[in-house]
Amino acid sequence: MTTFTPTSAAEVLSAVQWATADETPLEILGHGSKRGIGRPLQTEHTLDLSGLSGVTLYEPAELVVSAKAGTPLVEIEQLLAENGQQLAFEPMDYGPLLGGETGKGTLGGVLAANLAGPRRLKAGAARDHILGIHAVSGRGEAFKSGGRVVKNVTGYDLSKAMAGSWGTLAVLTDVTFKVLPSAETETTLAIRGLLDDSAAAAMAMAMGSSGEVSSAAHLPERMAARVLDGKLGGDPATLLRVEGFGPSVAYRVAHLSDLLGNAGPIEEIAGEASKTLWRDVRDVRPFADGTDKPVWRVSMPPADAHHMVLALRMQAAADAFYDWQGGLVWLRMEGEPEAELLRALIRKFGGGHATLVRAAPAWRAAIPVFEPQPAALAALSARLKAEFDPKNILNPGRMVHSSDSATVAGVSEGATP
Amino acid sequence: MSGILMPKPDAATLSRRDEIVADMRIIVPGEGVVDAVNEMRAFESDGLTAYRQLPMVVVLPETVAQVSRLLKYCNERNIRVVPRGSGTSLSGGALPLEDAVLLVMSRFNRIIEIDYPNRVVVAQPGVTNLGITTAVEQDGFYYAPDPSSQIACSIGGNVAENSGGVHCLKYGLTANNVLGIEMVLMNGEVVRLGGKHLEAEGYDLLGVMTGSEGLLGVVTEVAVRILKKPETARALLIGFPTSEEGGQCVADIIGAGIIPGGMEMMDRPAIHAAEDFVHAGYPLDVEALLIVELDGPGVEVDHLIGLVEAIAYKNGATTCRMSQSEQERLTFWAGRKAAFPAVGRISPDYYCMDGTIPRKELPRVLAGMRELSGQYRLGVANVFHAGDGNLHPLILYDANVPGDLEKAEAFGADILRLCVKVGGVLTGEHGVGVEKRDLMPEMFNEIDLDQQMRVKCAFDPNHLLNPGKVFPQLRRCAELGRMHVHRGQMAFPDIPRF
Ligand SMILES: Cc1cc2nc3c(=O)[nH]c(=O)nc-3n(C[C@H](O)[C@H](O)[C@H](O)COP(=O)(O)OP(=O)(O)OC[C@H]3O[C@@H](n4cnc5c(N)ncnc54)[C@H](O)[C@@H]3O)c2cc1C
């Protein structure tokens, strides 16, 4: 058992080259804050990138920040905040849900897990903000892609290929993200007492209006009590976030209140409380219960999601809440994960996919954590993996069972000299 | 054709041309196969008109099954295929090859679904960019990315090029607005990436496909998100005595936390050409003209216009006009949107470049361009997506003057080298195509390019789809797969470990 803790890109390269030559798998780690996501790994050695840290470029006027991959996300967020800027995609913090500390995680991990938040429909995810990368492939070669400018179509976008690859294609050493100004102010409207279907209708109305809602979520009965330290009370809360310049926010809040006045009683939550509320939604506070009860992250078109949840509940005990502008339903199962049931229902109600983000290791080893793909797509993904990591040494088996991917890989591989 | 070497035509394929054409007529019955030279002329070039080549045959399929069968057929027989949408590429992405099937997607022209509750439109790839907005605008929605070619270019072509437009700073590029695609691989397999939900599962193959210039797969369906039209939009027309002041104004607007819906800059030659053409009322005594558009609720627009105006005057603006009506706003834009044809009036030909630079380097790059312009004795007019640093230098030349085109291309290449040198890139939105193919080594070393080509190998291991584009040198996938490992040695034996 060796843990490598490189402090430079050259050392990362050297470690990967060694592992490639020895055909020894490595677990690739930032802070390890999302280690519990994916199939459990059984690697002998670990490549810990937390020592590869530091901002290398920050030019607020150019809306760009570059940092070594192991730089703590909180450090970046703090630096940006000092300049009135932010990562607009609001990368979520899995710490609370997975029973770890809050505020952990590295910038490289943000991209590798393609993190996002409740502003997703409007602002996108990490994939939409990544401008460039330096990385070491499983071949033991250092390569780069992209650059430091916002508009760039020079060559394939390998930076996006890293998004959501969970360290299985290459080890990131440097990442460059686009940054944006933070909103001057924000207010949240909470419509109380709605059932899931009326909440979906209200949300569709709000999001199709010129109220420019940046986040929308629905916390059904009991879920609402688990955010904002319980200050919201237990009644269902349908939340709409309005962000921007003061006069604009005031106008849009009035517009939305008018539009939705008949839906139910509306409360206004302003400033810091609004921010905390959305952080709690983002970080799945309602299910941050210290247990390892299975939690699913379901990405599906928002309008029909509650039908899927209703159908699921006919057959299994589950709690649910909706982060619509993140395009997500979060589910906590009382008993077993019920993967097949859930995935069949998602297909039935408009399509999408489910990731088992929390479950005991035995479950994660036994059922596919990430959505199984149709044969042609699975084969294509396996070929892509093999083109980056032909010896399967980077986080092997974390996304799909290794033997599954190896058999369909058919990689363009020659003999090792 | 200018000095770019295309892959050597395959003699075996050419010798079987009649048989291949006959088989194409079986795969795509009816009017969908064109092999008469005079009819194929319409397809011999795209928006990069300096390059022309007749294809072996033009095929216009109508169904996914036909596309799949055609690609499988070609894959099994080692026949090259060049996909084409509307043929507006400015980098020669859709340039035919003598021994290739030109696969034209224009008959895929239906909107498949409009889903307002989820704010998604699903369209076939041959639908024009503007066609999507047209389909939903009566209900107050629109599709945000708006390339100047939007009346003609196809949404499939937009995906292939990751196209942008003047509203990209605030609303993102094609990549940020496409939710899912269906595509056919060279082996005929049909694959779906993403859908109506916000995130595709597994590797971000959708991200890789977007901007892959027709080299990885043929897009047969596209799901895009649509947005509610902003309540109001107003534009400011701001003139500056120097481009430095204009550039500083842009930086200060962003520094104030304002991301305008659009922010475009033009230099003196472009201002004059545009004003002569459309009479937009542009000031003629300035070196740089900035159009800043603010959109959103009326109160927000009023608030921000005031802020931007103050920033403009602080930075030495000599004129600052605010659009007083929708008509006037459109007039402000008319000159910018017609900048290419306007320049086309003052010069027999022009050559459009597309580098992106860190914005702060603008004065240095403009000065460099002036110097190069002197050296090459060719004029240059600049339009510029100021918010995101994407330059469009238009090099003026005359194709009838021997050597002028080559000079224009060399000038263009020097501009792009300069862009890379100051921290920018070769192309912001028009793609590499054939045009910038041989400049790729300015930005990428061999390892970088090899890794990109390996991605190609995962999709199309025989290099049959759109070969000769993007990569300066094609290497066989078997060769790319080889690994050179040195067992047992470690360059840094003392990496910290425990
Ligand atoms: C006057 C003018 C103004 C322009 N303004 C802009 C602008 O503002 N912003 C901008 O970004 N671009 C602009 N362009 C460039 C061009 O319009 C875009 O690149 C556009 O997206 C190309 O679309 P198309 O349908 O014409 O594609 P084509 O030119 O036919 O093809 C372009 C590339 O896409 C591939 N392709 C096309 N369809 C498919 C498919 N279905 N599946 C797979 N591959 C496919 C082709 O192989 C080729 O490589 C402009 C062009 C012109 C002529």
Query: How much distance in Å is there from the Cα of A251 to the middle of ligand 1?
Result: 40
Domain count, chain B: 5
DSSP line for A206-266: HHTSTT--SEEEEE-TTTGGGSGGGTT-SS-EEEEEEEESHHHHHHHHHHHHHHHTTTS-E
* ipTM of the complex as predicted: 0.95
* Beta strand ranges found along B297-405 (DSSP E): 319-322, 349-352, 380-385, 390-397
From the list A3, A150, A165, which residue is nearest B497 (CB)?
Answer: A3
Same domain? B153 vs B172: yes
From the list B168, B203, B228, which residue is nearest A165 (CB)?
Answer: B203
**Pick from A263, A282, A301: which residue ends a domain?**
A282
Q: Which of B331, B421, B385 is nearest to B163 (CA)?
A: B385
From the list B190, B197, B302, which residue is nearest A301 (CB)?
Answer: B197
For residue A348, is it within any domain? yes
Using DSSP's 3-state secondary structure scheme, residue B103 falls into strand
**B255 contacts in A (CB within 8 Å)?**
60-61
For residue B218, is it within any domain? yes
Same domain? A239 vs A269: yes
Reported for A20-25, long-range contacts at CB under 8 A and 24+ positions apart, including other chains, are A20/A138, A20/A139, A20/A140, A20/A391, A20/A393, A20/B483, A20/B485, A21/A140, A21/B485, A21/B486, A21/B487, A21/B488, A21/B489, A22/B487, A22/B488, A23/A391, A23/A393, A24/A393, A25/A392, A25/A393, A25/A394, A25/A395, A25/A396
CA separation for the pair A340, B315 (Å, rounded) = 62
Q: In the predicted model, is pLDDT for residue B37 greater than 70?
A: yes
Residue B2 token pair: 């200018």
| CATH of residue A231 | 3.30.70.2190
B488 — pLDDT class (breaks 50, 70, 90): low
**Residues A244, B297: contact at Cβ < 8 Å?**
no
CB atoms within 10 A of CB B44: 18
Same domain? A228 vs A350: no
**Residues A351, A301: contact at Cβ < 8 Å?**
yes
**Element containing residue B64 per DSSP (H, E):** helix B64-76
B489 to A374: CB separation less than 8 angstroms, yes or no: no
For residue A306, is it within any domain? yes
Distance of alpha carbon B256 from the chain centroid: 30
Same domain? B213 vs B274: no
Residue A171 token pair: 């080890």
Compute the count of residue pairs across chains A and B with CB atoms less than 8 Å apart: 333
From the list B169, B452, B479, which residue is nearest A156 (CB)?
Answer: B452
CA separation for the pair B42, B225 (Å, rounded) = 33
Query: How much distance in Å is there from the Cα of B97 to the middle of ligand 1?
Result: 18
**Pick from B104, B126, B148: which residue ends a domain?**
B104
**CA distances, A128 to each of A1, A59, A122, B156 (Å):** 37, 19, 11, 20
pLDDT tens for each residue of B134-164: 999 999 999 999 998 999 999 999 999 999 9
**Pick from A153, A181, A209: which residue ends a domain?**
A181
CA separation for the pair A27, B13 (Å, rounded) = 48
Q: In the predicted model, is pLDDT for residue B337 greater than 90?
A: no
- Per-residue pLDDT at B490: 61
What does pLDDT average to in each consecutive run of 10 residues of chain A (417 residues)?
93 95 94 94 93 97 96 98 97 96 97 97 96 98 96 96 98 98 96 96 90 96 95 96 96 96 94 97 97 97 92 97 96 97 96 96 95 97 97 95 50 35
Which amino acid type is present at position A96? Answer: P
- What is the model's pTM? 0.96
Q: Which residues line ligand 1 (CB under 6 A)?
A: B 46-47, 82-90, 93-94, 105, 125, 147-149, 153-154, 156-158, 160-161, 163-165, 213-214, 218-219, 340, 429-430, 466
CA separation for the pair A88, A71 (Å, rounded) = 18
- Per-residue pLDDT at B493: 61
Residue B478 token pair: 């078997």
Q: What's chain B's average pLDDT?
A: 94
**B389 contacts in A (CB within 8 Å)?**
62, 149-151
CA separation for the pair B301, B283 (Å, rounded) = 24
Using DSSP's 3-state secondary structure scheme, residue A312 falls into helix
Domain count, chain A: 3
Q: Identify the residue whose C-alpha is closest to ligand 1 atom 16.
A: B89
- For the sheet with A130-137, list strands across it: A55-59, A64-68, A170-178, A130-137, A142-146
Same domain? A30 vs A165: yes
Domain holding B19, by residue range, is: 11-104
- Per-residue pLDDT at B489: 59
Would residue B214 be called left, alpha or beta, if left means φ above 0 and alpha means ψ between -120 and 50 degrees? Answer: left
- Name the residue with tokens 């389909």: B135
By CB neighbour count within 10 A (0-12 exposed, 13-18 middle, 19+ buried), where does A376 fall? middle
Same domain? A155 vs A205: no
Residues 6+ apart with CB under 8 A from B473: none
Ligand 1 atom closest to the Cα of residue B220 is 41
CB atoms within 10 A of CB B26: 10
| CATH of residue A334 | 3.30.70.120
Residues 6+ apart with CB under 8 A from B231: A210, B296, B297, B298
A387 to B458: CB separation less than 8 angstroms, yes or no: yes
Same domain? A215 vs A231: yes
**Pick from B104, B136, B159: which residue ends a domain?**
B104
Reported for B368-373, long-range contacts at CB under 8 A and 24+ positions apart, including other chains, are B368/B415, B368/B418, B369/B393, B369/B415, B369/B418, B372/B411, B372/B414, B372/B415, B372/B418, B373/B411
Same domain? A206 vs A336: no
Supply the angle between the helices B268-278 and B326-337 in degrees, to the nearest 10.
120
Say if A157 is an interface residue toward chain B (CB within 8 Å): yes
B484 — pLDDT class (breaks 50, 70, 90): confident
pLDDT tens for each residue of B238-276: 999 999 899 999 999 998 999 999 999 999 999 999 999
Q: How far is B66 from chain A (nearest CA, A)?
A: 18
Within 13 Å, how many C-alpha atoms sit on residue A89's CB side?
21
**Pick from A359, A392, A410: which residue ends a domain?**
A359
Average pLDDT over residues B409-424: 97
B497 to A5: CB separation less than 8 angstroms, yes or no: yes
For residue A407, is it within any domain? no
Query: How much distance in Å is there from the Cα of B140 to the middle of ligand 1?
Result: 26
For residue B494, is it within any domain? no
Average pLDDT over residues B366-393: 94
Say if A144 is an interface residue toward chain B (CB within 8 Å): yes
**Residues B131, B111: contact at Cβ < 8 Å?**
yes
Domain holding A327, by residue range, is: 293-359
